[in-house]
C-alpha cells in the first residue's frame, strides 16, 4: 500500500511540475501568435530590401548593369558569383525571408479571419494582395536563375523541392495575378494602412499593381510568344494599369535605424568606400547631355596637366566623347562639345568634372565620381515598379504591333519625361533633352530596341536588377567589358546556389537539364532570345 501511495504522490508531483514547466516556458514578452498583418508587412519589407539593397553578398545588379564600379575589391564587377556565394544569398532572401513570410501571412489569414471577425471581402483582399506579392518575387527568382522551385517551393512537407522551368513559373505567376485581380473588391479595405507601407491599405492600388505587373510579364515574354503577349497586354490595359507616378510601387524608408534605406546602409552606415559611378553610365550621360548625371553622380576636382619644365599647370584639351558636364563654383553647370580646352587659369575656380570609374577595375575612390548625394540619405524611397517603366513597356508594345494608348514615340517620350521628373529635373531641361537629336526618337541611333533599351536602362539607375534584365532582353549596345574578359562574359543569369548541390542534388540536376545542360552564367533565361 505504501508503494502505491508513493507512486500516486510522485505522479501528482510530476503532473503538477509538467503544468508549471509549460507555464514557465511560455514567452512573457514575445508574441506567441503572429498576426497575418505583421507577417505580410515583414514579407513586403523583405521583398523591397531584396531588390533595393546593394550588398555585394546579395544584390550585385547595380554592378552588372554597370551603373556603379568598385574600388578595392572588383571581383563582382568581374562577374565572380561563387566567391561570396551571391546566388545562395539572393535565393535565401527571396525564399526564406520574403516568400515564407508572405506564405505564412496567407495561412494565418485563412486560419483566423472568422475568429477575428474579419469581413469576407476584406479577407479576400488580403489573400489577393499576398498572392500579388508572391507572384512578383517568384517572377524575380525565375528572371535571375532561369528555373526555380515553384510548385513545391513553399510546401513544409517537401524538404527537397523540384524545380519548374522559367516559362512554367511565368504561366503560373500570371495565373496567380489573374486570380488575385478577380478576387479584389476595390470597395472593401485592404490590409491596415499601418501594415501596408506601399499603398496604405488601398486595395484598388494593389489591383493596378497586379495589372501593371501583368503588363510587364507580357512584354518580358514578347519574343517567346508574341500572340500571347499581345493578349496579356490588352487584358492588362483593360483591367487598369498605372496612370501616373502616384501609382508607383514604392516603400517609404525612415531616417533612423532599423528602417533606413539599404543603399544608405551600404554607402554611409557601413563606413566603407566601395563604390563609384561607372564610366559606362557617366560617358553615356555626358554624350547625351543628360541632366540626370548631376543627380546620379557627384563631380570630382579637375586635374590639370603639369608642365614639367616650369612645374606649373597647363591647359588641358578634351578630344574624346561628344562633350562633358563642367561644374564651376557659383555658376550654372555648363555642357561643352568636344574638342574643348580647359584653361589653367580656371584652376583658381576649382573646376569640377564628372569622371566615372573604369568598370571592372579597382578604382581609386578619391579620384572618381562618387554616387550622388541623394543616395546618401537614409529615407530615400525604394521602388520595384513605376510609371516611367510602364511608358517604356508600352512604347515597346507599340513597336511590336500591339494596340496601345499612344504611339511608340509618344510613350518613349513619356517614359523619359517621367524619369526626369522623378529625379527633380525641370520642365525646360526636359524639353531640351527630348529635342536632342541623340535622344529624339526619330533621330537617335539604332533600332527601336537600342533607343528604348538605352533610355530605359538610364531610367533604371536605382533599380539595378531591372537595368540588367533590360540589357539581357533587348540586347542594346553600350556596356563595357572588364580587363581580360569579353562581352560574352557579362552574366545572363545567376548560377544555381552552391548549397543546392548538397541539399537537393537530384532536383538540381534536373533543373540544369531544363536550362540546356550547363549551370553557367552565360546561359540565357527563357525570355532572353538571341
**pLDDT per residue as tens digits for the range 211-254:** 999 999 999 999 999 999 999 999 999 999 999 999 999 999 99
Residue 226's SS3 state is helix
Split at pLDDT 50, 70, 90, the class of 335 is confident
Q: What is the pLDDT of residues 183-221, one digit of tens each?
A: 999 999 999 999 999 999 999 999 999 999 999 999 999
pLDDT digits (tens, 9 = 90+) for 402-461: 999 999 999 999 999 999 999 999 999 999 999 999 999 999 999 999 999 999 999 999
Residue 312: strand pairing partners: 307
Q: Tell me if residue 324 falls in helix, strand or coil.
A: strand
3-class secondary structure, 314: strand
Cα–Cα distance, 78 to 491 (Å, whole number): 10
pLDDT for the residue numbered 4: 44
Q: What is the pLDDT of residues 156-182, one digit of tens each?
A: 999 999 999 999 999 999 999 999 999
| % of the chain surpassing 70 pLDDT | 94
Q: What element of type H or E holds 323?
A: strand 323-327
Task: Compute the distance between CA of residue 228 and CA of residue 236 in angstroms, rounded to an integer.
Answer: 12
Model confidence at 45, pLDDT cuts 50, 70, 90, reads very high
Query: What number is the average pLDDT over the span 20-47?
Result: 77
pLDDT at 27: 55
**HEC string of 91-160?**
HHHHHHHHHHHHHHHHHHHHHHCCCCCCCHHHHHHHHHHHHHHHHHHHHHHHHHHCEECCCCCCCCCCCC
- Is the pLDDT score of 26 beyond 70? no
Strand partners, 316: 342
Q: What is the mean pLDDT of residues 96-121?
A: 98
CB 439 within 8 A of CB 431: no
Q: Name the one residue in this structure whose C-alpha cell is 581580360.
A: 484
Q: DSSP states of 258-301 as a string?
A: TSS-HHHIIIIIT----EEEBHHHHHHHHHTT-TTHHHHB--EE
In the block, residue with C-alpha cell 553578398: 57
3-state SS, 335-356, equals: EEECCEEECHHHHHHCCEECCC
Span 34-59, average pLDDT: 97
- 249, 137 contact by CB (below 8 A): no
323-327/334-337 β-pairing:
antiparallel
Mean pLDDT, rounded, of the chain: 93
pLDDT at 24 over 70: no
The pLDDT of 271-286, averaged and rounded, is 96
| Mean pLDDT, residues 51-79 taken together | 97
Q: Which three cell numbers stand for residue 41?
A: 508587412
Whether the per-residue pLDDT at 18 is higher than 60: the answer is no
Peptide bond before residue 339 is cis, with ω within 30 degrees of 0? yes
Among 144, 77, 83, 137, residue whose Cα is nearest residue 493: 144
CATH of segment(s) 36-252+463-514: 1.25.40.390
Report whether pLDDT(353) > 80: yes
> What is the rounded distance in angstroms from the CA atom of residue 403 to the CA atom of residue 303?
52
359-397 confidence digits (pLDDT tens)? 999 999 999 999 999 999 999 999 999 999 999 999 999
- The C-alpha atoms of residue 84 and residue 416 are separated, in whole angstroms, by 36
Q: What is the pLDDT of residue 28?
A: 54
pLDDT at 30: 54
Stronger pLDDT, 496 or 28, i.e. the higher one: 496
In 146-274, beta strands by DSSP E: 147-148, 164-165, 249-251
Q: What is the pLDDT of residue 457?
A: 98
Q: Per-domain residue ranges for the chain?
A: 36-252+463-514, 275-375, 386-459
| Degrees to nearest 5, angle at CA 287 with 283 and 288 | 120
Torsion of CA 504, 506, 509, 511, to 10 degrees: -70
Query: How sure is the predictor about 22, in pLDDT bands with cuts at 50, 70 and 90?
Result: low
Per-residue pLDDT at 11 exceeds 90: no
The residues, ordered by sequence, that sit 6+ positions from 318 with a Cβ below 8 Å of its Cβ are 324, 336, 338, 339, 340, 341, 342
Angle at which helices 408-422 and 448-459 pack, to 10 degrees? 20
Give Cβ neighbours of residue 355 (< 8 Å, ≥ 6 apart). Answer: 282, 299, 300, 367, 368, 369
Amino acid at each position: 500500500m505504501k508503494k502505491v501511495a508513493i507512486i500516486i504522490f510522485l505522479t501528482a508531483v510530476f503532473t503538477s511540475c509538467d503544468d508549471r514547466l509549460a507555464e514557465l516556458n511560455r514567452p512573457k514578452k514575445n508574441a506567441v501568435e503572429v498576426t497575418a498583418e505583421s507577417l505580410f508587412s515583414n514579407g513586403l519589407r523583405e521583398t523591397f530590401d531584396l531588390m533595393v539593397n546593394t550588398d555585394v553578398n546579395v544584390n550585385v545588379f547595380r554592378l552588372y548593369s554597370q551603373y556603379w564600379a568598385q574600388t578595392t575589391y572588383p571581383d563582382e564587377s568581374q562577374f565572380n558569383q561563387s566567391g561570396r556565394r551571391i546566388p545562395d544569398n539572393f535565393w535565401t532572401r527571396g525564399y526564406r525571408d520574403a516568400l515564407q513570410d508572405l506564405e505564412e501571412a496567407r495561412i494565418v489569414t485563412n486560419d483566423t479571419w472568422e475568429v477575428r471577425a474579419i469581413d469576407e471581402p476584406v479577407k479576400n483582399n488580403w489573400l489577393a494582395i499576398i498572392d500579388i506579392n508572391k507572384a512578383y518575387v517568384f517572377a524575380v527568382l525565375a528572371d535571375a536563375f532561369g528555373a526555380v522551385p515553384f510548385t513545391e517551393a513553399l510546401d513544409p512537407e517537401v524538404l527537397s523541392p523540384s524545380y519548374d522551368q522559367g516559362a512554367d513559373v511565368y504561366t503560373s505567376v500570371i495565373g496567380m495575378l489573374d486570380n488575385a485581380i478577380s478576387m479584389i473588391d476595390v470597395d472593401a479595405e485592404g490590409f491596415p494602412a499601418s501594415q501596408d507601407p506601399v499603398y496604405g491599405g488601398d486595395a484598388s492600388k494593389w489591383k493596378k499593381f497586379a495589372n501593371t505587373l501583368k503588363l510587364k510579364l507580357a512584354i518580358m515574354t514578347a519574343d517567346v510568344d508574341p500572340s500571347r503577349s499581345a493578349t496579356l497586354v490588352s487584358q492588362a490595359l483593360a483591367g487598369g494599369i498605372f496612370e501616373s507616378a502616384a501609382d508607383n510601387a514604392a516603400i517609404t524608408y525612415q531616417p533612423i535605424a532599423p528602417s533606413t534605406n539599404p543603399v544608405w546602409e551600404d554607402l554611409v552606415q557601413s563606413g566603407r568606400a566601395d563604390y563609384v559611378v561607372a564610366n559606362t553610365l557617366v560617358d553615356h550621360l555626358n554624350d547625351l547631355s543628360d541632366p540626370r548625371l548631376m543627380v546620379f553622380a557627384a563631380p570630382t576636382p579637375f586635374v590639370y596637366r603639369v608642365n614639367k619644365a616650369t612645374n606649373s599647370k597647363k591647359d588641358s584639351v578634351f578630344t574624346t566623347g561628344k562633350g562633358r558636364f563642367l561644374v564651376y563654383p557659383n555658376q550654372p553647370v555648363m555642357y561643352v562639345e568636344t574638342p574643348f580646352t580647359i584653361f589653367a587659369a580656371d584652376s583658381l575656380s576649382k573646376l569640377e568634372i564628372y569622371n566615372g570609374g573604369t568598370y571592372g577595375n579597382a578604382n581609386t575612390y578619391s579620384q572618381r565620381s562618387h554616387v550622388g548625394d541623394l543616395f546618401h540619405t537614409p529615407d530615400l524611397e525604394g521602388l520595384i515598379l513605376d510609371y516611367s517603366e510602364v511608358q517604356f513597356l508600352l512604347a515597346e508594345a507599340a513597336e511590336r504591333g500591339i494596340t496601345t494608348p499612344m504611339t511608340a514615340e509618344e510613350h518613349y517620350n513619356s517614359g523619359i519625361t517621367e524619369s526626369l521628373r522623378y529625379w527633380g529635373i525641370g520642365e525646360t531641361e526636359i524639353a531640351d533633352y527630348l529635342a536632342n537629336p541623340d535622344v529624339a526618337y526619330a533621330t537617335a541611333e539604332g533600332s527601336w530596341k537600342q533607343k528604348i533599351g538605352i533610355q530605359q536602362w538610364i531610367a533604371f539607375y536605382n533599380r539595378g536588377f531591372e537595368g540588367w534584365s533590360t540589357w539581357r532582353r533587348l540586347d542594346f549596345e553600350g556596356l563595357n567589358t572588364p580587363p581580360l574578359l569579353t562581352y560574352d562574359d557579362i552574366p545572363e543569369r545567376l548560377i544555381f546556389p552552391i548549397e543546392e548541390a548538397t541539399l537537393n542534388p537530384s532536383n538540381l540536376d534536373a533543373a540544369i537539364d531544363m536550362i540546356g545542360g550547363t549551370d553557367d552564367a552565360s546561359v540565357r533565361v527563357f525570355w532572353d532570345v538571341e
